[in-house]
């Protein structure tokens, strides 16, 4: 391994580097001309009700139940006395002291100012994590995806050689439930509850109908539970039945999703409290709220308190890697919660078609397109002039396809520039009988082509390698037949961090995620009602977390006195690093971003056999402008009778440059000394840990001088032994002034132009005013309902009241919303919001139900005491305190002040 470690210094990489480390790209900006409308969907945003958490002062794990109850009763009385209107949905007293409520923005603003209120936070809608489902039949072939994954983590050795099965350990699964009739869980579901019912989320309606039976009709939870500890001897392949990581655990099933649709944070928090009450020792949460990137937000804080109560909480890091840095969120951010990143599996089983030269090619069927008909045969063609480097193949802007040019044929189209739907739609219009999409980077894609009008021809996707191969055969004549078979292929991205896995660190520059596990193409249990075989292959970061939850169960069986707060140390210390995937090349010896992979792949056997513990488990180094170097002490404690000798190295990982939303790799690395000696050389620093003794490592880390400003650097204190498992302690830091990152984003909405944010919106005038825009006429607001006629003649009733649209470029520690008079003096503080997540995107075209582009701050014309503001001239102001910012330092607060407007009474 020593040669591999030192190989890093010899690598000469050709990387595409960002020009700067700003937190967002800077597109062409524009000033809004009068008369340009916001999208119609925003009308009425200033009067819409939302769901919020209200947190009261007092940690429920530190005060009595009577104190919690008294605080909550006092809140209700005070709110009623102030005339604040809200609907209480849930109350909490075990992991969170407070409520979830439905209220308008104006009323939640008043609640945020009430005595005894610690904070208010939006209750996020949580989508059932996106997974890709194969059409595999388990009866025809029990493919070894789960077996491969178990070999990656060492679970196979733990079961077969160490005798660990998780017996006696209770594992809670907060998800879509578990199929109670599945043979893999027979007699082992010992607790559970359905918080929502089958129809929760159906047709966009979220009315919970709870009952005691947590049976799963969605599939996700059953698949997760199977990875943790499914056990089905009847499903045999090559003499081996199906087993998850810990096949003898007992389960608690906590259903927070209906058969379709999403869930909400307040339902999830209720399930978290129930799992603790039911005595779960381990809880898996393969879900989260992206960008809710603080330890102090409700679900993360509840997760931290679960650890204090002795429950090991394992949570997925999230699937928002494509949205850039600081993209994690939800319970995974809790202190001592084990945050799990995804690693690509080493094998993939795919549906296949056969080329006329006899070659079998694996493919994914696109979501939104029909499944290919078995036995159908098509000649393959492509667009004239298309090559394997064409960037806009099949796009409308490049001319699409000539009418009738594809009639009856399958067309090969390279990924790039426009959407998969646009490519498939253009091919369908040109008469294509099928579409073969191929990747423009390493590996496979799982495309979606849903749209209007619908795609009615089969659309499949193949790897970049297979696409190039087919492209080279077209000139000589080639056809394909959908044979209905399967093909096992080596995953081109095997053992690399999954590209979709969310990137840390936390908003407060705490190192996250913690550890990785297999998350791609995992074979596991599935509800019998959805698939009579009871098995499916799914992919997603959701599949990574249960591998670690199962590993925790195995280690708790082996070491039952291990405290919940210490379990993460056992796993992280012995993790195995993942290498960087540069295009289609996995560069052995060069670690991927530490902020994406954490400590690396979980190694169950290493954690079981290791006798030396390194604490702290990870090093969060903060921003380099405050300290040129960081001094840390790592304690190595030997619990065994053998003297242990290590060579200690600095093993730097790639630096994250580019922008917050579009990161790029940089090969400038931090340097390190250990106990006063350079740890950057080929020999390392010798460290001796005596039997049953401990030693200290004095570690000094210097940020990379050549790295771009505002980049994240990271790496590992790497301790190598010839007789024992190697140890790793990851580190991460920020290069430069963290408070120099902007809080507000310019937002692209019209013609690709970005308009400075925030915006003051005037629904009645069907207009909005961008930051810094000079207005010829001062807007006025009557706070009355008025009718607005769209360009198509549709009449909509809106409230004539001002509100702000805010796109957040970065997490915000505290956002203060103020009303100013004509002279700029503060009339009233309307709201104080804390621990805010950043926006998913600043491009309106990329927004979705799970990817927001803005937040709304509205004013209903009333002061915080409930009285109406008199007629006059006013402004609205936002003051954004940046993460880790000092309120006494003006440079740490970004300020926006709206244009002046009139209140008309």
The pair of three-digit structure tokens given for residue 70, joined into one six-digit string: 């008294």
Decide: 741 and 769 in contact? Cβ < 8 Å: no
Cβ pair 717, 634 in contact under 8 A: yes
Is 181 one of the annotated active-site residues of the chain? no
pLDDT at 23 over 70: no
Residue 3 has pLDDT above 60, yes or no: no
Q: What's the structural domain count of the chain?
A: 4
Range 223-227 average pLDDT: 96
- Residue 429 sits at φ, ψ, to 5 deg, of -65, -30
- Given a contact cutoff of 8 angstroms between Cβ atoms, the answer to whether 286 and 227 are in contact is no
CA distance 155 to 247: 10
289: in domain = no
pLDDT at 745: 86
Residues 101, 90: Cα–Cα separation, whole Å:
7
Q: DSSP letter string over 55-122?
A: EESS-TTTS-HHHHHHHHHHHHHHHHHTT---EEEEEE-SS-SEEEEEEEHHHHHHHHTSTTEEEEEE
Instruction: Tell which residue, 267, 265, 253, has the closest CA to residue 331.
Output: 265
Provide mean pLDDT across the span 28-42: 58
For 796-801, what is the mean pLDDT?
88
Question: Do both 648 and 666 map to the same domain?
Answer: yes
Q: Residue 116: its pLDDT value, please?
A: 93
Average pLDDT on 791-796 reads: 76
- Spatial CA neighbour of 704 closest among 631, 628, 632: 628
Residue 362's nearest CA partner among 488, 511, 521, 245 is 488
- CA 466 to chain centroid, in Å, comes to 30
Sequential DSSP letters for 674-721: ETTEESSSSS-EEEEE-TT-EEEEEEEEE--TTSPTT-EEEEEEEEE-
Q: Is residue 878 over pLDDT 60? A: yes
766 and 731 in one domain?
A: no
* Helix 145-153 and helix 544-558, axial crossing angle in degrees, nearest 10: 50
Tell me what pLDDT residue 39 has: 66
Which of 64, 96, 123 is the endpoint of a domain?
Answer: 123
The whole-number pLDDT of residue 99 equals 96
**Cβ proximity of 593 and 654 under 8 Å:** yes
pLDDT at 8 over 80: no
Kindly report the number of other CB atoms within 10 A of residue 57's CB atom.
13
How many Cβ atoms are within 10 Å of 70's Cβ, its own excluded? 13
More confident residue, 758 or 531: 758
Report d(CA 200, CA 227) in Å as an integer: 26
Contact 725/705 with Cβ under 8 angstroms?
Answer: no
Distance, in Å, from the CA atom of 244 to the CA atom of 184, rounded to the nearest integer, reads 9
Mean pLDDT to the nearest integer, 483-504: 84
State phi, psi for 805 to the nearest 5 degrees.
-105, 130
- Contact in structure between 702 and 629 (CB atoms under 8 Å): yes
d(CA 13, CA 587): 9
Q: What angle do CA 197, 199, 202 make, to 5 degrees?
A: 145
Count of C-beta atoms within a 10 Å radius of residue 471: 20
Write out the residue range of the structural domain in which residue 868 sits.
742-903
| Mean pLDDT, residues 103-117 | 90
Cα–Cα distance measured from residue 416 to residue 524, given in angstroms and rounded to the nearest whole number: 33
Give yes or no: residues 865 and 887 share one domain. yes
From 823, 832, 811, select the one nearest 878 (Cα to Cα). 832
More confident residue, 692 or 587: 692
Q: What is the DSSP letter of 156?
A: H
pLDDT at 350 over 90: no
Q: What is the mean pLDDT of residues 522-537?
A: 86
Which residues on neighbouring strands pair with residue 894, listed in sequence order?
880
Tell me, yes or no, whether 119 and 75 share the same domain. Answer: yes
Confidence of residue 752 (pLDDT cuts 50, 70, 90): low
Q: What is the DSSP letter of 129?
A: P
- Give me the pLDDT at residue 40, please: 65
Does an H or E element contain 702, and which? Answer: strand 694-702
219 assigned to some structural domain: no
DSSP state of 868: B
> What CATH code is carried by the domain that includes residue 791?
2.60.40.4070
Q: In 718-745, which positions are buried (b, 16+ CB within 10 angstroms) versus exposed (e)? A: bbbbeebbbbbbbbbbbbbbbbbbbbbb
CATH number reported for the structural domain that contains residue 360 in this entry: 3.50.30.30
Alpha-carbon distance of 662 to 18, in angstroms, equals 9
Give the range among 94-98, 112-116, 309-313, 790-794 with minimum mean pLDDT: 790-794
Answer whether 354's CB lies under 8 Å from 693's CB.
no
Each residue's pLDDT tens digit, 613-647 = 999 999 999 999 988 899 999 999 999 999 999 99
Q: Is 542 labeled as catalytic in the residue annotation?
A: yes
What is the value of pTM for the model shown?
A: 0.86
What tokens were used for 699?
């570690």
Query: For residue 482, what pLDDT is reported?
Result: 96
Point out the domain boundary residue: 490, 521, 552: 490
More confident residue, 309 or 14: 309
Question: CA 26 from chain center: how many Å?
Answer: 24
Q: Please, which pLDDT band fits residue 443 given cuts at 50, 70 and 90?
A: confident
Say if CB 599 and CB 339 are below 8 A apart.
no
Pick the catalytic residue: 91, 179, 182, 220?
220
Cα torsion at 493, 495, 496, 502 (round to 10°)?
Answer: 110
Alpha carbon distance 446, 740 (integer Å): 38
Q: Verify that 435 and 468 share a domain, yes or no.
A: yes
How far is Cα 562 from Cα 564, in angstroms, rounded to an integer?
7
Q: What are phi and psi of 408, to 5 degrees?
A: 75, 5
- For residue 186, being part of any structural domain is answered with no
Task: Indicate whether 596 belongs to any domain.
Answer: no
Task: Give CA–CA dist 329/541, Å, rounded.
Answer: 13
Distance CA 525, CA 253 (A): 15
Q: How far apart are CA 752 and CA 763, in angstroms?
A: 23
- Which CATH number fits the domain that encloses residue 55? 3.30.70.80
Measured from the Cβ of residue 91, the count of other Cβ atoms closer than 10 Å reads: 18
pLDDT band at 89 (very low <50, low <70, confident <90, very high): very high
Q: How far apart are CA 305 and CA 407, in angstroms?
A: 62
Distance CA 517, CA 224 (A): 13
- Percent of the chain at pLDDT exceeding 90: 69
Q: Is the pLDDT confidence value at 122 over 80?
A: yes
Say whether both 804 and 693 belong to one domain: no
Are 755 and 863 found together in one domain?
yes
Domain identity same for 784 and 705: no
pLDDT of 532: 84
Each residue of 190-209: pLDDT tens digit?
A: 999 999 999 998 888 899 99
- Nearest CA-CA partner of 105 in 761, 823, 638, 775: 761
872 compared with 397, residue with greater pLDDT? 872
226 belongs to a structural domain: no
* Whole-Å CA distances, 348 to 70, 319, 351, 484: 56, 19, 10, 16
Q: Which of 175, 194, 292, 800 is flagged as catalytic?
A: 175
How do beta strands 282-285 and 170-175 pair? parallel
pLDDT digit string (tens) for 149-206?
A: 667 788 889 998 999 999 999 999 999 999 999 999 999 999 999 999 999 988 888 9
Burial (Cβ within 10 Å: 0-12, 13-18, ≥19) of residue 524: buried
Helices within 130-287 (DSSP H only): 145-153, 155-160, 220-229, 265-277
Cα(903)–Cα(466) distance, rounded to whole angstroms?
Answer: 65
Q: Which residues contact 629 (CB under 8 A, 6 or more apart)?
A: 700, 701, 702, 703
Going by the DSSP 8-state scheme, the letter that residue 808 receives in this structure is B
* Same domain, residue pair 436 and 409: yes
Task: Enter the tokens of residue 402.
Answer: 């000539």
499 included as an active-site residue: no
Q: Say how far apart CA 344 and CA 520 lie, in whole Å.
A: 5
The neighbouring-strand residues paired with 729 are 717
Residue 310 belongs to some domain of the structure: no
Beta strand pairing status for 655-658 and 663-666?
antiparallel
DSSP bridge partners of 103: 50
Q: Identify the band that residue 146 occupies on the pLDDT scale cut at 50, 70 and 90.
A: low
Whether 882 and 743 have beta carbons less than 8 Å apart is answered as yes
Which class for 682: exposed (0-12), middle (13-18), buried (19 or more C-beta within 10 A)?
A: exposed
Q: Do 89 and 64 belong to one domain?
A: yes
Where among 448, 464, 490 does a domain terminate? 490
Given a contact cutoff of 8 angstroms between Cβ atoms, the answer to whether 125 and 264 are in contact is: yes
Q: Answer yes or no: do 727 and 748 share one domain.
A: no
Alpha carbon distance, N-terminus to C-terminus of the chain: 77
Same domain (yes/no): 632, 648: yes
Nearest to residue 577, comparing CAs of 727, 412, 377?
727
Distance of alpha carbon 766 from alpha carbon 37, whole angstroms: 6
- 8 A C-beta contact, residue 394 and residue 383: yes
Give 864's pLDDT tier (boundaries 50, 70, 90). Answer: confident
> Looking at the domain assignment, is residue 566 inside a domain?
no
What pLDDT score was predicted for residue 437? 97
> Average pLDDT, stretch 716-722?
96
Total number of residues shown for the chain? 905
CATH of the domain at 696: 2.60.40.1710
Give me the chain's average pLDDT, please.
89
Is 327 domain-assigned? no
User: Looking at 134, 352, 542, 576, which residue is catalytic?
Assistant: 542
- The answer to whether the CB of 73 falls within 8 A of the CB of 105 is no
pLDDT tens sequence across 449-466: 888 889 999 999 999 999
In the prediction, which pLDDT does 813 show?
97
Question: Roughly what angle, to the nearest 10 degrees, separates helices 564-573 and 544-558?
Answer: 110
């Amino acid at each position: 391994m020593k040669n591999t470690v030192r190989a890093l210094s010899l690598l000469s990489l050709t990387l595409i580097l960002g020009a700067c480390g700003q937190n967002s790209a800077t597109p062409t900006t524009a000033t809004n001309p009068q008369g340009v409308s916001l999208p119609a969907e925003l009308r009425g945003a200033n009067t819409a009700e939302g769901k919020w958490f209200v947190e009261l002062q007092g940690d429920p794990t530190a005060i009595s139940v009577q104190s919690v109850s008294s605080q909550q009763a006092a809140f209700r009385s005070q709110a009623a006395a102030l005339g604040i209107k809200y609907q209480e949905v849930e109350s909490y007293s075990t992991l969170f002291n407070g409520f979830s409520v439905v209220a308008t923005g104006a009323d939640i603003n008043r609640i945020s100012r009430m005595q005894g209120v610690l904070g208010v936070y939006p209750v996020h809608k949580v989508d059932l994590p996106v997974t890709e489902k194969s059409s595999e039949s388990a009866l025809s072939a029990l493919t070894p995806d789960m077996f491969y994954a178990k070999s990656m983590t060492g679970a196979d050795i733990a079961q077969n050689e160490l005798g660990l099965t998780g017996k006696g350990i209770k594992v809670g699964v907060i998800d879509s439930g578990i199929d109670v009739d599945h043979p893999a869980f027979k007699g082992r579901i010992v607790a559970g509850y359905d918080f929502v019912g089958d129809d929760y989320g159906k047709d966009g309606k979220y009315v919970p109908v709870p009952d005691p039976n947590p049976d799963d009709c969605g599939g996700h939870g059953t698949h997760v539970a199977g990875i943790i500890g499914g056990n089905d001897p009847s499903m045999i392949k090559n003499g081996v039945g199906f087993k998850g990581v810990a096949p003898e655990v007992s389960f608690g099933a906590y259903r927070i999703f209906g058969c379709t649709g999403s869930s909400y944070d307040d339902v999830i928090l209720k399930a978290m409290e129930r799992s603790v009450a039911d005595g779960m020792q381990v809880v898996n949460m393969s879900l989260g709220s992206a960008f809710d990137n603080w330890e102090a937000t409700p679900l993360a804080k509840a997760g931290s308190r679960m650890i204090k109560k002795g429950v090991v909480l394992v949570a997925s890091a999230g699937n928002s890697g494509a949205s850039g840095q600081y993209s994690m969120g939800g319970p995974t951010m809790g202190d001592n919660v084990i945050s799990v990143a995804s690693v690509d599996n080493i094998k993939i089983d795919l549906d296949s078609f056969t080329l006329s030269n006899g070659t079998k090619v694996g493919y994914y069927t696109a979501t939104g397109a029909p499944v290919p008909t078995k036995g159908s045969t098509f000649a393959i063609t492509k667009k004239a002039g298309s090559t394997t480097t064409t960037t806009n193949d099949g796009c409308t802007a490049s001319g699409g396809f000539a009418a009738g040019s594809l009639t009856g044929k399958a067309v090969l189209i390279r990924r790039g520039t426009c959407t998969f739907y646009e490519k498939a739609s253009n091919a369908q219009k040109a008469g294509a009988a099928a579409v073969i999409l191929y990747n423009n980077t390493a590996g496979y894609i799982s495309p979606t082509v849903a749209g209007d009008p619908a795609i009615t021809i089969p659309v499949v996707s193949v790897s970049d390698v297979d696409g190039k191969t087919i492209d080279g055969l077209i000139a000589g004549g080639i056809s394909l037949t959908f044979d209905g078979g399967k093909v096992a292929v080596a995953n081109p991205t095997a053992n690399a961090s999954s590209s979709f896995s969310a990137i840390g660190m936390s908003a407060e520059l705490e190192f996250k995620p913690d550890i990785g596990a297999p998350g791609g193409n995992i074979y596991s249990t599935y509800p019998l009602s959805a698939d009579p075989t009871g098995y499916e292959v799914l992919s997603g970061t959701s599949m990574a977390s249960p591998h670690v939850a199962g590993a925790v169960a195995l280690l708790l069986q082996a070491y039952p006195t291990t405290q919940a707060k210490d379990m993460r140390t056992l796993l992280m210390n012995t993790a195995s690093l993942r290498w960087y995937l540069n295009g289609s090349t996995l560069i052995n010896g060069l670690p991927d971003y530490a902020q994406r992979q954490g400590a690396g792949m979980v190694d169950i056997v290493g954690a079981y056999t290791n006798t030396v513990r390194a604490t702290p488990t990870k090093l969060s180094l903060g921003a380099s402008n405050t300290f040129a170097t960081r001094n840390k002490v790592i304690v190595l404690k030997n619990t065994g009778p053998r003297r242990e000798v290590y060579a200690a190295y600095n093993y730097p990982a790639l630096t994250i440059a580019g922008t917050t939303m579009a990161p790029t790799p940089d090969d400038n690395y931090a340097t390190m000394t250990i106990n006063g000696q350079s740890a950057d050389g080929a020999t390392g620093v010798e460290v001796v840990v005596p039997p049953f003794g401990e030693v200290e490592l004095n570690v000094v880390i210097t940020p990379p001088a050549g790295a771009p400003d505002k980049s994240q650097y990271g790496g590992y204190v790497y301790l190598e032994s010839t007789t024992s498992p190697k140890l790793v302690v990851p580190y991460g830091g920020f290069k430069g002034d963290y408070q120099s990152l902007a809080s507000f984003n310019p937002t692209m909405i019209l013609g690709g132009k970005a308009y400075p944010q925030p915006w003051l919106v005037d629904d009645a005038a069907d207009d909005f005013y961008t930051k810094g825009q000079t207005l010829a006429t001062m807007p006025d607001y009557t706070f009355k309902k008025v009718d607005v006629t769209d360009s198509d003649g549709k009449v909509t009733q809106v409230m004539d009241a001002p509100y702000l649209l805010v796109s957040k470029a970065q997490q915000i520690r505290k956002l203060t919303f103020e009303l100013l008079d004509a002279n700029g003096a503060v009339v009233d503080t309307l709201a104080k919001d804390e621990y805010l997540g950043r926006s998913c995107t600043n491009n309106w075209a990329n927004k979705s139900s799970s990817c927001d582009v803005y937040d709304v701050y509205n004013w209903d014309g009333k002061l915080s005491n409930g009285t109406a503001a008199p007629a006059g001239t006013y402004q609205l102001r936002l003051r954004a305190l940046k993460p880790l910012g000092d309120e006494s330092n003006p440079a740490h607060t970004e300020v926006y002040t709206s244009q002046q407007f009139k209140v008309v009474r």
